[in-house]
Amino acid sequence: MTGWPEDPADATTPVANSTAAVERLAANAPSLERLDARVSVCRACPRLVEWRERVAVEKRAAFRDEPYWGRPIPGWGDPRARILVLGLAPAAHGGNRTGRIFTGDRSGDWLFAALHRAGLARLATSERAGDGQHLTDVRIAAAVRCAPPANAPTPEERDTCRPWLVRELEFLRPRLAVIVVLGGFAWAALWPALVAAGYDVPARRGRFGHLSEVELPGGVLVLGSFHPSQQNTFTGKLTEPMLDAVFNRAKSAAGDPDAEADPGTRP
Ligand code: SF4
């Protein structure tokens, strides 16, 4: 539709303009690819639509000569991922600028470098859509898909956006083994989405913390991690070894991606 690298939508992609439309278009998305396309043109939250588009016009001075995406950011990565990384929401001058989750901001620098050290990302950096970055066995998504003012979506916006995550969890379910949750907001947002997606979720579960774990009865491990926000990384609350420990744990819990072939790959 736009000629933007990796743009999943085209002129035929239906646009959600309301909470009810998000619910309907998420529930009947026929594939992960089509879900991503529908997410990327969503306009259901008036405050966030206004904000993301205003930021895309006003821009940050350092990026004034660059085009901004200014749209929702769908999940991105390996469609057959066994590890899902769930964040809060795109950054105004990161994903909202580049069109790809965690791409073009300091949090993403930390995240993609850690994924690369763990052997899950081709490149140690993620600068722009179409830069050659590639994830293996990992997909990254956000609980809220539009950049919010002050990184703070309202509870209503979080709930309106949930059906996109629910449908994503449904598509990933056959292979999903680990969900790495970045920060307390995403931790809280994940549980109702898991329930709505049909996952068996324990009634009692631990509080969010770094390397906190909840094993779902169906076998999926939910693994907490401090968010690689500038606030956490500048203050040393989150260090590179701490983030490496998260992805090493995620990899060991997910196991060998080739050892557990699904019916489509079994010889
Ligand atoms: S936050 Fe989610 S539901 Fe709201 S406009 Fe963005 S993509 Fe749509």
Q: How far is the CA of 76 from the centre of ligand 1 (A)?
A: 16
Which of 19, 157, 159 most suits a substitution to test ligand 1, by most atoms within 8 Å of the C-beta? 157
Angle, helices 19-27 vs 32-39, to 10°: value is 160
For residue 35, give both structure tokens. Answer: 């879900």
Using CB distances shorter than 6 Å, the residues near ligand 1 are: 22, 39, 42-45, 48-49, 72, 144-146, 157, 160-161
Annotated domain spans of the chain: 19-254
Note the pLDDT tens digit of each residue in 208-248.
Answer: 999 999 999 989 999 999 999 999 999 999 999 999 999 99
- Answer yes or no: is pLDDT of 267 > 50: no
Note the pLDDT tens digit of each residue in 116-135.
Answer: 999 999 999 999 999 999 99
Q: How far is the CA of 14 from the centre of ligand 1 (A)?
A: 14
Q: How far is the CA of 219 from the centre of ligand 1 (A)?
A: 30
Residue 240: what pLDDT?
98
Residue 266: what pLDDT?
32
- Answer yes or no: is pLDDT of 94 > 50: yes
SS3 168: helix
The bridge status of strand 213-215 relative to strand 178-182 is unpaired
Query: Model's pTM, two decimal places?
Result: 0.95
The bridge status of strand 138-142 relative to strand 76-77 is antiparallel
Fold of 19-254: Uracil-DNA Glycosylase, subunit E (3.40.470)
For residue 241, give both structure tokens. Answer: 């070894």
∠ CA 246-251-257, nearest 5°, is 160
Residue 1: what pLDDT?
54
Give yes or no for a contact between 13 and 25, defined as CB atoms under 8 angstroms apart.
no
Residue 189: what pLDDT?
97
Alpha helix segments (H runs only) across the chain? 19-27, 32-39, 46-58, 95-98, 106-117, 155-172, 184-196, 230-234, 240-254
162, HSE (Cβ side, Cα atoms, 13 Å) = 20
Nearest atom within ligand 1 for CA of residue 39:
7
Beta bridge partners of 142: 87
Beta bridge partners of 182: 225
204 versus 169: which is more confidently predicted? 169
- Write the residue with the smallest CA distance to atom 7 of ligand 1: 145
168-85-110-56 Cα dihedral, nearest 10 degrees: 20
pLDDT bracket for residue 3 (50, 70, 90): confident
- Write the residue with the smallest CA distance to atom 4 of ligand 1: 45
pLDDT bracket for residue 262 (50, 70, 90): very low
Residue 10: what pLDDT?
95
